[in-house]
Amino acid sequence: MTDPICPLCLRPIPADVPQSLHHLVPKLKGGKGGPTVLMHHICHKEVHAALTEAELARDYATPEALRSHPRLARFAAWIARRPPGFTSRVPGRRGRRGARS
């Protein structure tokens, strides 16, 4: 059996690698029970660091749309050069208002 492919970075997702389900439309925006995709946990964290729930629901509800986002496209190109089990801290949202130091 072959490993599933992450829809963001297009790398295989081995069974022993941290992974998570991403709701293509966020649950809080009407996506509960809607379609999900399996992703590397690091890729999933980057999606939520880059985009708000509203942006995800409105403009980025497909894997193709996620890959077209400039920050996520740069991330996918960078992570594609790493092994499937690679993990790292994901920086938070840039320019977040009211963020504590």
Residues 24 and 36: their CA atoms lie apart, in Å, by: 6
| 64 CB burial (10 A radius; 0-12, 13-18, 19+) | exposed
Local confidence band at 96 (pLDDT 50, 70, 90 cut-offs) = very low
More confident residue, 33 or 96: 33
Please give the backbone phi and psi of residue 35, each rounded to the nearest 5 degrees, phi first: -65, 145
What is the length of the chain? 101
Strands, E, within 1-101: which ranges? 19-23, 36-40
Tell me the mean pLDDT in the region 15-22: 93
Residue type, 81: R
What are the structural domain ranges in the chain? 19-79
- 100 pLDDT band (50/70/90 cuts)? very low
